[in-house]
């Protein structure tokens, strides 16, 4: 029975990495693994994981810049890994990759973002750490190929998609003419592009449909409100952070994504569980791994006219939306937690 450590920012955060790692942790416990969650800070409990078999540990109680605490964090992590006889340490991001390589245990880099995302320092850490890792798990095929091209990288590289956080949800027969999008209000999510695309739609569709955007403000709210006001976009609702995303998804008819970049966007899987057809930029990386022609429309990244055309095509065709809704529910079965866990189990047994 192997002891597995999962090293991440915080098990008390609302982020997608925490959610996915929590699902994987419980599923690996079912297979007999001992799982330890190791948080940089605020990790005394699991926001998405209440599994009593999982052990939680935090290196710091409060947030500290990772660049300031680097040496101390290495010491704290090494000490904990040794005390619990961790066999395999799974790290979940750039600085985590770099710190984990000093722990003298088998190390899996679990990369959750686009290989091409980040500043020069983050890129350096990613490339340097990959040369010392025992295995690398990517979420998409293009990321897998990018790591494979790193000179000196001898790690075993596997593509393992993130699992869907939900099973199939019975569709709501009383869907409204709502286009929904979920995500924090920051440049990455491209809501400025979403609003510009919305303004390119025929006026009759803008008057007939509503665009809802739900997510916490990371700085872009004033800019988005300016775009709405300047372009007189009356039926656009910025809802802020919402806990009832299940209600929002179940009452909507189309899911739209305007991200400039992603890792593997879990929200697309979640939308498909609710039977939502998708219109999305085909950004790096993830959408093309999830959305098939049968269940959605992918358009050129950052092409506002293309996004508007895709939305218009979906809005005016009731039959197309219904067909893609059925296909979305079938497509998401590929990402079940059971099938994803088996791939992780295979990798862990190889180390």
Model confidence over 139-185: pLDDT tens digits?
989 899 999 999 999 999 999 999 987 766 766 678 999 999 999 99
Record the tokens describing residue 97, joined without a space. 């990759």
pLDDT of residue 36: 98
Low-confidence ranges of the chain (pLDDT < 50): none
pLDDT of residue 150: 93
DSSP-assigned letters across all residues of 158-182: EE-PPPPSS---PPPTT--SEEEEE
pLDDT of residue 266: 86
Looking at CATH, the fold of the domain delimited by 3-163+336-350 is given as Rossmann fold (3.40.50)
Numbered ranges of CATH 3.40.50.2000 in the chain: 3-163+336-350, 178-334
Phi/psi zone of residue 21: left (φ > 0), alpha (ψ -120 to 50 degrees), beta? alpha
Q: The pTM is what?
A: 0.81
pLDDT of residue 58: 97
Alpha helices per DSSP H over the chain:
16-30, 70-83, 94-100, 120-130, 141-148, 191-199, 203-208, 221-230, 245-251, 266-273, 287-290, 304-316, 318-331, 337-350
DSSP-assigned letters across all residues of 34-77: EEEEEEEES-SS-SS---TTSEEEEEESS---TTTSHHHHHHHH
How far apart are the C-alpha atoms of 297 and 67, rounded to whole Å? 41
Looking at CATH, the fold of the domain delimited by 178-334 is given as Rossmann fold (3.40.50)
């Amino acid at each position: 029975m192997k002891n597995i450590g999962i090293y991440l920012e915080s098990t008390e955060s609302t982020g997608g990495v925490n959610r996915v790692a929590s699902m994987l942790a419980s599923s690996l416990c079912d297979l007999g693994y001992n799982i330890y969650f190791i948080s940089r800070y605020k990790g005394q409990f699991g926001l998405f994981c209440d599994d009593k078999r999982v052990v939680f540990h935090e290196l710091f109680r409060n947030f500290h810049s990772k660049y300031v605490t680097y040496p101390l964090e290495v010491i704290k992590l090494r000490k904990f890994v040794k005390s619990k006889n961790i066999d395999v340490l799974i790290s979940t991001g750039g600085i985590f990759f770099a710190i984990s390589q000093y722990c003298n245990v088998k190390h899996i880099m679990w990369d959750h973002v686009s290989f091409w995302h980040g500043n020069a320092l983050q890129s350096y850490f990613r490339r340097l750490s990959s040369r010392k890792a025992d295995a690398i798990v990517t979420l998409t095929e293009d990321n897998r190929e990018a790591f494979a091209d790193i000179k000196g990288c001898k790690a075993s590289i596997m593509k393992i998609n993130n699992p869907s956080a939900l099973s199939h949800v019975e569709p709501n027969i009383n869907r409204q003419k709502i286009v929904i999008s979920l995500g924090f209000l920051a440049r990455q999510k491209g809501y400025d592009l979403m609003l510009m695309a919305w303004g390119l739609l025929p006026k009759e569709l803008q008057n007939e449909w509503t665009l809802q955007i739900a997510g916490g403000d990371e700085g872009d709210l004033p800019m988005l409100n300016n775009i709405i006001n300047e372009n007189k976009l009356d039926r656009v609702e910025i809802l802020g952070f919402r806990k009832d995303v299940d209600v929002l998804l179940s009452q909507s008819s189309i899911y739209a994504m305007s991200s400039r970049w992603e890792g593997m966007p879990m929200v697309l899987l979640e939308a498909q569980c609710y039977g939502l057809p998708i219109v999305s930029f085909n950004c790096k990386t993830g959408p093309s791994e999830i959305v098939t022609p049968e269940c959605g429309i992918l358009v050129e990244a950052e092409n506002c006219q293309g996004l508007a055309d895709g939305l218009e095509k979906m809005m005016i065709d009731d039959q197309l939306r219904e067909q893609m809704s059925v296909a979305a529910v079938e497509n998401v079965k590929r990402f079940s937690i059971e099938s994803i866990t088996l791939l992780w189990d295979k990798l862990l047994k190889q180390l």
